[in-house]
Chain A
Amino acid sequence: MLGLLVLTTIVVPVCNLFVPESSGLHISTYTMTLLGKYLCYALLAMAVDLVWGYLGILSLGHGAFFALGGYAMGMYLMRQIGSRGVYGNPVLPDFMVFLNWQQLPWFWHGFNWFWFAALMVVLVPGLLALVFGWLAFRSRVTGVYLSIITQALTYALLLAFFRNEMGFGGNNGLTDFKEILGFSLQADSTRAGLFIASALALAGGYLSCLYITRSRLGKLCTAIRDQEDRARFIGYRVENVKLWIFIFSAMLAGIAGALYVPQVGIINPGEFAPLASIEIVIWVAVGGRATLYGAVAGALMVNYAKSYLTAAMPDAWLFALGALFVLVTLLLPRGVTGLLRKKEVTR
């Protein structure tokens, strides 16, 4: 899978930047950005797969970590606009001027530096996961109950971020970004750079997840998924294992969100919607749980289908998504990659 990823990382930007538009091999910037977006989704799917497929925690709120990472990046991009906004205020983003705010809220300070934003991209989701996980896992909340709480978590954040007083742009979110690290977001080369960054993040995420799942900790994760009590009675602190894996997964989701935002050009509270989080779970289920490449494949396939269907038959998409989930659950409980692995299982 890494080979495939390396190949796309090289081929796609080259075909975009150096192959002339008249050539049949040319890949439009639109397509490249779309692919970059899929890669972010793939990273997000992998993060969900790590906690769901391997550890058995069905998180219906991973969209929250993704969106928080996205907001952290969005805040940096907002500060980069500077005086080029509609109102031309060198410090305050447009929506704050519009709301008649006189000064920057405290939590916006620091986001003018990229390194600070990059740190927040992992720290904020990680911290939320730490607090949430510490409370939930210590009280031994499991199964459906945990799923419902994660759902409530993302819904609560959705409602909070919708409010203008929160200082995150309310309903409209953050948008109208101009540049990242001094490079214009409209330029093809920046887009290619973002695409490469997404591919690298996915590769890095894949390797680190691979390292975890192949270590003794990975074996322990599946052991906890299957027989939590046994793991506890042979002396493992199950809640700590869950907590750390959950935090790591939230951080991955945050990185995915941060790379997603500059490519789509907007972040708004819609990303917190419970439906978005459920969709991630469907990608993983379609691709195949407990295989990292399955999660990636599922995210790519379902999102390609989504892009295609929402253009061709906009009304049909939700039905198709629902049908897909039902069919996969009934017919392919191990996902699409389960078909490929059938041989080794029956052997």
Chain B
Amino acid sequence: MTVLEAMRSYMRRDLVFEFLIPDTPPDLDLTHGVILYLDGISVSFDGFKAINDLNLYIEDGELRCIIGPNGAGKTTMMDIITGKTRPDSGSAWFGQQINLLEMDEPEIAAAGIGRKFQKPTVFEQHAVIDNLELAMAGDKRVWATLNARLNGEQRDRIDEVLQIIGLHDQYTDQAGSLSHGQKQWLEIGMLLMQNPKLLLVDEPAAGMTHQEMDRTAELLTSLAGTRSVIVVEHDMDFVRSIAQKVTVLHQGTVLAEGSMDEVQNDQRVIEVYLGE
């Protein structure tokens, strides 16, 4: 390009400078009905292949359970989706347009993927309601956060989520004083405040009593439909109670996929996971 041409393009009045264009991710494009594509993902830690050519497609509104023995790569997979770990190869797309591998954790969260950790992780020093307030979708930059005030609409939203997770009576309690199960629900509630399109839920039923488990199952099934939910779980009874479709991971690859019955009768699955 000559200097003159560069000058001309620089001076064009119908365009703004590149750095002035706001850096917003493209809207979630669900034209093909698939919300998450993981294609040929591999990642290894010190030579150990945690994920090996993993292919996984999640449909919009689906509730998918992922099971697999310890070390099958379930948590690593979540790390990749949420941007914590970068894969060595493969691609990960959120809808048709959003390339997850080019984004970091806060960007991915803003784009609409929420994640619940294996261990209940809430802000224990804060009241339940503050936990939800912090998680609320919105402008999360420093200055905006400093001057943020709750408006009526946002209060209603918090109220609504408190109802959904059944913590309405404890909203001023410190999150640290909640029971284990209630913390799990609070964390799910924090995900809901983010208005995600895709929820990743890591072992929601761990350490829960049977009643709590039933409520959690109810909660998760009610969430699917309007949003997609991926549940990683060990407890087979729990999986059976919620699963529409199950994916079995083994040594970082998909071993089998289908309904719970199909999966349970699959010879390979029985061998590696369900035992003799």
Contact = CB atoms under 8 A, between A and B. Distances in A.
Interface string B181-212: 00000000011011000000000000000000
Sorting the interface of chain A by its residue count into under 10, 10 to 19, 20 to 34 or 35 or more gives 20 to 34
A229 B121 contact: yes
Sorting the interface of chain B by its residue count into under 10, 10 to 19, 20 to 34 or 35 or more gives 20 to 34
Interface stretch (A160-168, A216-224, A281-289): A216-224
A219 B145 CA distance: 10
A237 B123 contact: no
Contacts of B137: 235
Interface string A192-215: 000000000000000000001001
B134 A226 contact: no
A240 B106 CA distance: 11
Contacts of A231: 123, 134
A235 B135 CA distance: 8
Contacts of A241: 142, 145
Contact of B126 (A212, A217, A223, A237): A223
Contacts of A227: 121-124
Contact of B134 (A212, A220, A237, A240): A220
Contacts of A230: 117, 121-123, 190
B82 interface: yes
A235 B146 contact: no
A241 B106 CA distance: 13
B126 A233 contact: no
Contact of B109 (A212, A223, A233, A244): A233
Contacts of B110: 235
A135 to B, nearest CB: 17
B147 interface: yes
B105 interface: yes
Contact of A222 (B122, B125, B135, B145): B125
Given A216-B134, A231-B123, A234-B190, 11 more contacts: A212-B146, A215-B147, A216-B133, A222-B123, A223-B125, A226-B123, A232-B105, A233-B82, A234-B109, A235-B106, A235-B140
Interface of A: 212, 215-217, 219-220, 222-223, 226-227, 229-238, 240-241, 244
Interface of B: 82, 105-106, 109-110, 114-115, 117, 121-126, 130, 133-135, 137, 140-142, 145-148, 190-191, 193-194
